[in-house]
Structure 1
Amino acid sequence: MGNFKSTLKKIPSNPSKKGRSKLKEPEPELEPEPQILVEENKPKYYLSNRGDENLDRQHFNHFFRKHIFGNNFSAPIGRRLAQGECKVLDVGCGPGTWLLDLAHKYKNVKFVGIDIEPTVYPNEIKPGNINFYQADIFDGLPFPDNEFDFVHQEIMALIIKADQWNFVISELIRVTKPGGFIELVEYIAPDDNGPILSKIYQTHYDLCLKRGVDTSLIPHLDNMMMSQNYISQVNKDEKTFIIGPNGGKVGITILEIIISFIMSDIATEDISFQQGIDKEEHKNRFKNLDEELKGTSPKLKLCRFWAQKNDN
C-alpha cells in the first residue's frame, strides 16, 4: 500500500505533458518517523508505514491479493514481461513487495518503484533490476511521456482525494507507452454487513470524507479511466469473498488484515473520537464482531481495473 502525503504538496493546476523533474534519490535516515498524515483541523490518515507490524501487514496483504487472483496482474502483459526488455512502474510502492515478487521472476525487465517515504522500501539488498525513488504523485510523475510498458498502482484509494483522481490517472496514462497497460487495484467496501461492521465502515467512510477522500468513487474507477484521453476500453477483473469464518480460510485471513488496520493506535484514536466512545470500548467491540460474523456473510470485493493506452 502506498503512502503519498497528499496534504504536503499542491497539485499543479496545469501539469505539463513534457515530462517531469528529476527523480529524487532517497536520503538515508537512522530512524523512520511515524507516517501520520495531518491536515489542519482534519483527522489523521491512519494507514501508517511505521514499524515492523505495519510493514508486515503490507507484505501479507500483497500475497493475499496474489492468492485471490492467482497472479500479480490482470493486464495481458505476461508475454512482454517474459520476453524482457521492457519497463514497469509501481506508483505508491510502499515496501516494494509487488515489485520484488515480479523482479525475481522477470530478471530481464527493468522495474521502478516510487513512494514519498524512502524509509519503507529496500535500497541496499534488492535485485539489480529494481530501482526505488522518492517521488510524490501529486506533483506529477517525474518521468517523460511514454516511458513504461506497464504502470501499476495498488490500494491508494484511502489516500487520493476525490478531486485528485483525474490528475493521478492522467499521469499514469501519460508515462505509459502507446500499446502499454495501466492497472489500478482497490478493495470495494463490503455489503450484507451486520450492525457492528456497518458502523465501523460508516465511521471510516465519514473520516475519509473529512480528508476529502470519497471511497464511494472506487467502484467507478473504470468510468474515470474511460474519461481520459488515449483510453477507449477499460476492463474489470473482480473477485468477491466473504469476511469472517463463513468465508473459510480466505475470510479469516482478510478479517485479520482488516482488524490489524482498524485496531492500530492511530485508527483507534480517530474512530473512537468520531463515534464518541473511549478507546477501550472500540477495542472491546471486536469481541462481539467475531460473534456477529458467525451469523452474517459480508461480501468484500477486490477489483483490478486495467486498460491499454491507444497508439494515438
Structure 2
Amino acid sequence: MGNNKSKVKRTLSNSSKKHHQNSQYLLSKESESRNLDKEKELTYYLSNHNDEDIDRQHFNHFFRKHIFQNNFSVPIEEGLIQGGCKVLDIGCGPGSWLLDLASKYENSYFFGIDIKPVYPNEIKPKNLEFCEADMFNGLPFPDNEFDFVHQEVMSFIIKADQWNYVISELIRVTKPGGFIEIVEYISPENSGPVLTNVYKTHFDLCLQRGVDMSLIPNLDKIIESHQNISQVHRDERSFIIGPNGGKAGLVIQDIIITFNTSDLATDDISSKKGISKEEYKNMILRDFKNELKITKPKLKVCRFWAQKNA
C-alpha cells in the first residue's frame, strides 16, 4: 500500500510539475507574443535597421538643420567650442545629430542612447559614445551629469501619461545651469483632404496606444510645470510641404511619403481605413502628390528649450 501511495504521490507531483511547466511556457509564449505585437506596432515609428529608414532619419536631421540654420537653439555654442561640455541625445536613432556635432566640437563629449542599436559602433568620432537603453526605464546616468540634454521627434512614441516622467528624467540628468531641448513637428495647417485624412488616421492610431498628439503644441507648458525650470522658450519655424514650398518643401514631401509608405505603415493605416494596401499606396504616391501641387499645407517644427535653475 505504502509503495502504491508513493507512486500515486510521485505521479501527482510529476503531473502537477508538468502542468506548472506547461502553464509557465504558455504564459511565456503569450508574453512573448504581446511583446512582438508591441514591437511591430511601434516599428515604423522608430529608427530601424533597413537602409531606407536610416536614410530618412539622416535626411530629417539635415532638413531641420537647414530650416533652423543650426543644430540647436540653446545658447551653448561657446561652451562647446571651449570644450569640456557633455551632451546627451535621447532616442538618437542612427546618430545623425550627434555625428554632426561631435565632428564640429572636437573638445566636447557626446553621448547617445536608443532602444534600438542602429547607431554606428565602429566608425565614429572619438568624443562620441552610444549605448542601448530604454528611456522609460530611467536614463542610465547620475543626477546633474550633462550640460545639454536633447531629444527629437518622439511624439509618436511617448504616451500622454509618460511625458512628465520623460521630462523629469531630462531635467534630472542635466547640470544646474545646463539646458534641455525637445524638438517636435506640429500637425500641418491648411491641408488638403488627403493629407488631413492621413494625419487623422495617425492621430487615431496613436490614441489607441495612449499617445496624444494634441499635447505637442503645449509642451512648453508641460515642461514649465516641472521643478527647477523657470522659463521655457519656443523656437518655431514653418514651411510649405510640397513643390509650392521650393526645395525644402520637396524634401519634406519625400520624407513624409517614405515614412507613410513603409510596409508596416501601409499595413496599419490601410487596415485602419478599411482599404487595400494598393489603394492606400495609390492614395499616397498619386493623390497626395497631386494634391500638393495645388495646395500649400504649412507644417511647423518647434524647439522647446529651457535652462535648469542653478
Taking structure 1 as the reference length, the TM-score comes to 0.85
SS at match of 1:85: coil
Which residue matches 1:294? 293
Letter in 2 for 1:86: C
- Label 1:44 to 1:171 Cα distance change in 2 as closer, same or farther (>3 A): closer
Q: 2:229 aligns with which of 228, 231, 234?
A: 231
Taking structure 2 as the reference length, the TM-score comes to 0.86
CA distance in structure 2 between the partners assigned to 1:225 and 1:111 by the alignment:
24
Q: Where in structure 1 do 4 or more consecutive aligned residues deviate above 4 Å?
A: 42-45
Which residue matches 2:12? none
Which residue matches 1:184? 182
Establish whether residue 89 from structure 1 lines up as the match of residue 88 from structure 2: yes
Letter in 1 for 2:250: I
- Equivalent residue pairs, number: 274
Establish whether residue 307 from structure 1 lines up as the match of residue 306 from structure 2: yes
CA distance in structure 2 between the partners assigned to 1:172 and 1:210 by the alignment:
26
SS at match of 2:233: strand
Whichever of the two has the greater Rg, that structure is 2
* Structure showing the higher helix proportion among its residues: 2
Which residue matches 1:33? none
SS at match of 2:229: coil
Which residue matches 1:50? 49
Show CA shifts across 1:37-61 (max 9, x none).
Answer: 7339x95552241311110110111
Letter in 1 for 2:212: D
1:92-103 alignment to 2 at 5 Å?
Answer: 92-103=91-102
Taking every aligned residue pair, what percent have the same amino acid on both sides?
68
Unpaired runs of 5+ residues, structure 1, are 1-35
Letter in 2 for 1:202: K
Establish whether residue 240 from structure 1 lines up as the match of residue 246 from structure 2: no
Which of the pair has the greater relative contact order for Cα pairs under 8 Å at 6+ separation?
1
Establish whether residue 69 from structure 1 lines up as the match of residue 94 from structure 2: no
CA distance in structure 2 between the partners assigned to 1:289 and 1:90 by the alignment:
33
Q: 2:205 aligns with which of 181, 204, 207?
A: 207
Contact map agreement 2:220 2:233 (CA 8 A) in 1: yes
Contact map agreement 1:44 1:270 (CA 8 A) in 2: no
Contact map agreement 2:190 2:298 (CA 8 A) in 1: yes
Letter in 2 for 1:169: I
Give how far 1:289 is off. Answer: 1.6
Which residue matches 1:5? none
CA distance in structure 1 between the partners assigned to 2:242 and 2:228 by the alignment:
41
CA distance in structure 1 between the partners assigned to 2:253 and 2:157 by the alignment:
21
CA distance in structure 1 between the partners assigned to 2:190 and 2:257 by the alignment:
18
- Label 1:44 to 1:136 Cα distance change in 2 as closer, same or farther (>3 A): closer
SS at match of 1:238: strand
CA distance in structure 2 between the partners assigned to 1:197 and 1:156 by the alignment:
21
